[in-house]
Every structure is written in structure tokens, then in C-alpha cells.
Chain A
Amino acid sequence: MSDHHVHIPPPQFSTYATVIDPPRQVTATHPEEMTSDPVPPNPAADIEEITPAASSTPVRVPYPTAAPTVPPPIPSAPEPSSTVPKKMALAPSSNKTYKQKRTFKVIIVGNAAVGKTCLSFRFCCGRFPEHTEATIGVDFRERSCVIENELLRVQLWDTAGQERYRQSIVAHYYRNVNAVVFVYDVTCRESFNDLALWIKECEKHGLVGDSEVPRILIGNKCDVECPNRVSTDEAQMFADRNNMALFETSAKAASEADHVESIFLTLLHKLQQSKPMHVQSQDERQQKEQERLILKANEAGNVEEEGFCC
């Protein structure tokens, strides 16, 4: 009898934060910050500085050699790097308590096949996915990072293929979003032209350009040779007009791995400095939960005991 029953697992999310690494002192991943004061004492005041700068002169993180990527490990905390094949920067340490925990929801939008999933995979798992067919059963990918002794969890939400035919992405995808990543394929003009539609779609759901929700633009697949690729200048102009920072990169090319990493760490830094009221901190969530109900899986324990079969 039981083998006739259909087994429905809940959707999964992949988390990559297992590598133990002593938290380092973070300087900056953002070029603008490199030139300004290294560690801002007051994040709230600092955001005034960062945001307009990023919008008026969009930042392009240079290619790997000059990239102000993750700072090297502090020499006083040497790590037997040979034993750890791939280390995620800023990974949290298991034996440390952090002053604050915040979770950020970041959505990735753009046409089908521009490499949204690959980018999120690269960032959260540190490599290019081996299987390129449509992802099944992954709701969002998550990565934990520590910046200034604060544990940040970044959830990268994927469109789940609902972008393929017209605009059929569900409304809740756009809710409680802390940052938006727009992606186009530099070898596909259409994906660039459609960015305007994606911006409109986001605005329809209240994610407007002048709000505090940071938006970045990524031109993907820059390693692919193509005669009529979208020129950087053109993309730059578009990014300027829409108040976004532009990055060109490739989620696939191994040489670009650090670059993808630095783009997202730039974003992370922006998020970290964003005002806490826009993000659910632990306290806020508890407070909110008292009045709103988040049905949790652990409550399903009781449900199962009761048994339910139709």
C-alpha cells in the first residue's frame, strides 16, 4: 500500500557555510571604499557616502589582477590551506558568537538562459555547476558571511524558470527584498534590451530605483567571443541612467571566480551597512512573530502525530 503513495519532499535550499575559518578583519571589497576611510565607524552615516558615489560613477571591478577582492588572511591566523581545497571567504566560525544575525533576501532577475542560476551557484558554492540543465527542487541558495563581527546570511533567490514565458513570476518573489541583481548576457542583445522590462516589473512590485534597496547590473558570459556583443559603454550608460553599478563577468570562466566573488561581496557590504530597520534582525523577527504567524515545519511534528490521510 505504502509504495502507492506519492512522496513529496519540501523544496530545498542549499547552504554553503561549512568551512571553518577564523573571521578576519574586513577592510573593503568595494573600490570606492578603498579610497575612502577604511572602516567606517558609523554605518548609518557611511551609507550617505557610498550610495551616491556608486550611482554617479558606476563601479566596475577591474579584472582579477587589479581586483580589490577579498583581503588576504591575516598572517597572525595562519591556516593550513593545503588541507582545505576551496575556502569561502568570510565564512563564519562555529566557535564564536556574533553580535547580530541578519538575513538578507537578494533576488536575481533577467531573461532565461543569461546565467542567473550559475551566478548564484558560483557565489554560494564557489564553483560552476556541473550540470547545466534546469535546477530542480532548489528554492534559494544561501551563504553565511561575517563582516565586522556580524553574521550575515544572504539568500539568493532564483526565478525558478518562471521568467521563461512572459512575466509570470509570482508576486511574493518581490516581497521583503533587500537587493536586486539584474543579469543580462553580453552576447545576447535581447537580454540587454529586456532589462527595461525587468526594471518595470520590479517597480510594479514596489522595488523602485530611488528606494534603499540596492540594485546592481551584471553582464554575464564576458568570456564568450561574439561579434556583436553589448558594448561596455552602452551598458554603462544604461546602468548610469538607472542608478545601478555595472559589472561584467563570467560565472563560468575559472579566471573570473574571484571576480564573481568580489561583486557579491561588494553587494554584501552595501547590505551590511543598510539600515537595520529594512532587514529583519533577530529581535525584530521575534517581535513581528508575536503578531504575525509564520507556520513552521516544527509544528508539523504535531500534525504528523495526529496523522492525516485522505
Chain B
Amino acid sequence: MDEEYDAIVLGTGLKECIISGMLSVSGKKVLHIDRNNYYGGESASLTPLEQLYEKFHGPSAKPQPEMGRGRDWNVDLIPKFLMANGPLVKLLIHTGVTRYLEFKSIEASFVVKGGKIYKVPADEMEALATSLMGMFEKRRFKKFLVWVQQFDENNEATWQGLDPHNQTMQQVYEKFGLDENTADFTGHALALYRDDEHKNQPFAPAVEKIRLYSDSLARYGKSPYLYPLYGLGELPQGFARLSAIYGGTYMLDKPVDEIVIENGKAIGVKCGEEIVRGKQIYCDPSYAKDRVKKTGQVVRAICLLNHPIPNTNDAQSCQIIIPQKQVGRHYDIYISCCSNTNMVTPKGWYLAMVSTTVETANPEAEVLPGLQLLGPIAEKFIQISDVYEPTDLGADSQIFISRSYDATTHFETTCKDVLDMFQRGTTKEFDFTNITHLSLNDQE
């Protein structure tokens, strides 16, 4: 280990693994270390089930026998879905990492209004039948969606009198005569905003997000969300293999004591007695605690159920959004549910996760509105994680730190952070359109 690496990556969370893959394929010599003996760090899927019990309740805690074979469980610590037309899917396709993964559509998406669960309409038929809004409102909403589809920020002809630079989303809702309920539904269940800030911002980004939703929906039908078989932990591992086949070196179960600094610049990492030299360090916040600041907390409740979530038409997988206004909060509450159909539980078992951004001193109580929708819960694990962001952007220190995973249930912010880190580290922009394709028809 007396060689010098171009980059040492610490932690095998999704962001670090994508970065590692990007660096390796661009010819950099990468060493990738994790202190755990499994891949994924915070974004791992714990398996077997015993591992989850041990993490939360200590080594003597054991799952109930009726919970089946421990190995059949793959429990995500951070619930997220992929938007079918989103940047992560594009990244997966362009790097060929899709070869290692299989996906399934999430069956349905729901939104809570007035304490009741409504299906987010997935097609025109459902839109006509939904009781989410009245007859006339539906017509106005349809007109709005048509406008969203053809809106182009660079083509004034498509603006229809709305100015994306000076007008807010609220003004757009008003122009189309949409009532508060519809605005709520649009902003939270379609554009996936977690709070109402966007209403007072220029509207172009929100329109983009609604379009991402409908484009993603158009791709595979039932819902705009995809989820990998065997859990999200497959994603970092897919990128880790990509990195490895391009020469990246992997060491799991390796404690890292500190990042070694000389004259304000990182020169390597210290593991026990040895120092491994590297020109750059990429890591998650837990490996550079003195260079990050806490910006908030996320509370996540992992619930094991032996039945589907009530009132979801027995969906084997789904997402439920409780918009903030419905429960008098600032941030939305998200519920995600997966099951045996996604290879994350044994037959007959369901895995539901309730998560939100912490607003009070009693985070456990904040997820209660979500827990109440789940019916009887066989086992519950509450996790409160601090959210960090780097205070050091790495220009001098050459330490590039990712942000913690936020409470969103999709990967838009994750990809943005990865691309941002890559640009800070290599001073190059990552351009997907430059990638040429080999034929990957190995599945034929």
C-alpha cells in the first residue's frame, strides 16, 4: 500500500460509489474504503433481518420466527424511489450499470386530503374518475397540464403571457383558476416539493418538475417511480462494480482514523499505523466531522407489516404523500411501501417507511400521522439522523464532502450533489451527451 492514489473515497454510500465510478472510468487511480463490512453506509439495504435488529436494538434482539427467513429481507435505511425519467436512471443507463440491476414500477402513488387517501391519477381515465377535484376544476387542471407540457423557458411563444422570470407559481395557479386544493396536490404530489416555498418563487423550476413527473409516468405506466429488486442497496454496489472493473481498489471493514493534512491540504488517510497517500479525498460527512455543519434532522420510521397498507387497494408497493397543510406542518410526510414483489421481504410481509424533516423537539410524534395510516404494525424502528452539509468545499483542502441524504423520496437532489462534487473535484463538468454507446444488447 505504499503507492499513491489519485483519489481516496471514504464511505460506500450511493453518492460516494457514483463518484468512485466516475473517477475510475475517467482513468483515475481510486482507492475506496468503508469502515463497515457491508456496502452502502447510510444508503445500504440491511440484510439479513437480524442485522436490522442488531443495529437498532442491540446484539441480543432477534426477529420473530413468523417473520420468515432473515435473508429474504433487504431493509433500506433511507427510503427513496427513482423517477423513471430522472437523472439517476439516465446515469445508470449511460454507465451500463443497468446490467446488474432489475427494476419494477412502484404500483401506485397516493396523496392524503382531508384525512383520506386518494390515488394520484395515472392516466386520463383515472383523472376523469378521481374525486380529488370537482368537474370544473378538472377541466381547468387539464388546461394547466397541457400548458405545462408545451412550456419552454427559451421560447416566449409557449409562455402564454406568463413570464418565467418575474412570475411565481402562485400566479400561475391563479391564472389557470386552480383552487388551493389543486395547487396543494400539484406542488406536493406531482412536483414533489416538500414545503410551500416554491409558490413564491419564479415558476420555471416547478413546471420542469411537473413535467418530469408526467414524462416519468409516461415511461412505464402505473406510476412515475422505479425501484430496484433487492432494495436500494443494489445501487451503490452497481456503481462500486463499475469502479472496480475500471481498476478501482475496494477495502471494506477498514477503520479510518483520520484524514491526514499537510499545509492545509489532504495528503492521505490514516488507518491504524499505516498512512495511505492520495491526492484527493472524497467522503461522506461522517468521515470529516470537523468540516461539516448540521443543517437539520430527518426522522424515519421503518415499519414491518404483515398486511398491505389499508385503503391502497392492496398495493404491493406504493408511495403516499401527506402534504404539510393537511397536518399543519411546514414539511410533507412521505410514506413508501415495498414488499415481496420487490424482493425486499418474505411473502406476506410489507416494509413501510414514514419519513419527514424534523420540526419539533419530539420527532417521533411528527411521523404519527403517517403511522396512523399503516394499520397494525408488527415492529417499528425509529431513526433520527442529522443532516450535514460541507463547510469546506475542498478548493484548498482537496477534501470533497457529500451532503447527507434529505427527506425526499426520490434521487433528484442526490444526483445534483454528486455532479456538483465531481465538478468541484475535477474542475470539469460532467456531460452525459458526450458519452458514446457500445451495444449493450447482451440480454438478447
Q: What is the 8 Å Cβ interface bit string for chain A, positions 166-183, against chain B (1 contact, 0 not)?
A: 111011110100000000
- With a cutoff of 8 Å between Cβ atoms, the chain A residues found around residue B275 in the complex are none
- With a cutoff of 8 Å between Cβ atoms, the chain A residues found around residue B155 in the complex are none
**Cβ-defined partner of A5 (8 Å) among B39, B96, B250, B429:** B429
A166-B252 in contact (CB<8A): yes
Bound state CA distance, A139 and B252, in angstroms? 21
Bound state CA distance, A2 and B432, in angstroms? 11
Number of residues of chain B lying within 8 A (CB) of chain A: 64
A9-B436 in contact (CB<8A): yes
**Closest chain A residue to B219 by CB distance?**
A299
Number of residues of chain A lying within 8 A (CB) of chain B: 51
B98-A168 in contact (CB<8A): no
Given A4-B428, A293-B103, A295-B98, are A170 and B443 also a contact pair (CB < 8 Å)? Answer: no
Bound state CA distance, A293 and B221, in angstroms? 12
In angstroms, how far is the closest chain B Cβ from the Cβ of A54? Answer: 28
A64 near B: Cβ within 8 Å? no
The 3 closest A-B pairs by CB, nearest first: A10-B96, A297-B440, A170-B237
B175 near A: Cβ within 8 Å? no
B250-A296 in contact (CB<8A): no
**Closest chain A residue to B74 by CB distance?**
A171
B433-A308 in contact (CB<8A): yes
Bound state CA distance, A310 and B208, in angstroms? 14
A66 near B: Cβ within 8 Å? no
A38 near B: Cβ within 8 Å? no
A303 near B: Cβ within 8 Å? yes
How many residue pairs link A and B with beta carbons under 8 A? The number is 173
B241-A300 in contact (CB<8A): no
- With a cutoff of 8 Å between Cβ atoms, the chain A residues found around residue B440 in the complex are 10, 296-297
B244-A162 in contact (CB<8A): yes
- With a cutoff of 8 Å between Cβ atoms, the chain A residues found around residue B230 in the complex are 171-172, 175
**Closest chain B residue to A101 by CB distance?**
B444
Question: Which stretch from A130-138, A211-219, A237-245, A255-263 is at the chain B interface?
Answer: A130-138
- With a cutoff of 8 Å between Cβ atoms, the chain B residues found around residue A4 in the complex are 428-429
Bound state CA distance, A165 and B426, in angstroms? 27
A85 near B: Cβ within 8 Å? no
Bound state CA distance, A11 and B234, in angstroms? 17
Bound state CA distance, A165 and B252, in angstroms? 7
Question: Which stretch from B3-11, B84-92, B126-134, B378-386 is at the chain A interface?
Answer: B84-92
Bound state CA distance, A8 and B95, in angstroms? 7
B428-A8 in contact (CB<8A): no
- 8 Å CB interface, A285-300 against B: 285, 291-300
Bound state CA distance, A164 and B431, in angstroms? 32
Bound state CA distance, A6 and B435, in angstroms? 8
What are some 21 contacts across the A-B interface (CB < 8 A)? A4-B428, A6-B431, A7-B435, A7-B436, A10-B437, A138-B245, A142-B442, A162-B241, A165-B249, A168-B253, A285-B443, A293-B105, A294-B103, A300-B90, A303-B90, A303-B93, A308-B433, A309-B433, A310-B419, A310-B429, A310-B432
Q: A7-B434, A134-B247, A297-B440 are in contact. List 7 more A-B contacts (CB 8 A).
A: A6-B22, A9-B25, A136-B245, A172-B237, A292-B103, A296-B440, A309-B432
- With a cutoff of 8 Å between Cβ atoms, the chain B residues found around residue A291 in the complex are 104
B426-A6 in contact (CB<8A): yes
B430 near A: Cβ within 8 Å? yes
- With a cutoff of 8 Å between Cβ atoms, the chain A residues found around residue B434 in the complex are 2, 5-7
- With a cutoff of 8 Å between Cβ atoms, the chain A residues found around residue B249 in the complex are 161, 164-165
In angstroms, how far is the closest chain A Cβ from the Cβ of B18? Answer: 11
- With a cutoff of 8 Å between Cβ atoms, the chain B residues found around residue A295 in the complex are 89, 92-93, 98, 101, 103
- 8 Å CB interface, A8-30 against B: 8-13
A160-B245 in contact (CB<8A): yes
B428-A6 in contact (CB<8A): yes
A292-B104 in contact (CB<8A): yes
B26-A8 in contact (CB<8A): yes
Given A309-B433, A310-B419, are A300 and B94 also a contact pair (CB < 8 Å)? Answer: yes
A206 near B: Cβ within 8 Å? yes
B140 near A: Cβ within 8 Å? no
A165-B90 in contact (CB<8A): no
Q: What is the 8 Å Cβ interface bit string for chain B, positions 201-243, against chain A (1 contact, 0 not)?
A: 0000000000000000000100000100110011001101110
A170-B245 in contact (CB<8A): no
B238-A172 in contact (CB<8A): yes
A80 near B: Cβ within 8 Å? no
In angstroms, how far is the closest chain B Cβ from the Cβ of A71? Answer: 29
A7-B95 in contact (CB<8A): no
- With a cutoff of 8 Å between Cβ atoms, the chain B residues found around residue A11 in the complex are 95-96, 99, 242, 245-246
A304 near B: Cβ within 8 Å? yes
B439 near A: Cβ within 8 Å? yes
A307 near B: Cβ within 8 Å? yes
**Closest chain B residue to A300 by CB distance?**
B93
- With a cutoff of 8 Å between Cβ atoms, the chain B residues found around residue A171 in the complex are 39, 230, 233-234, 237
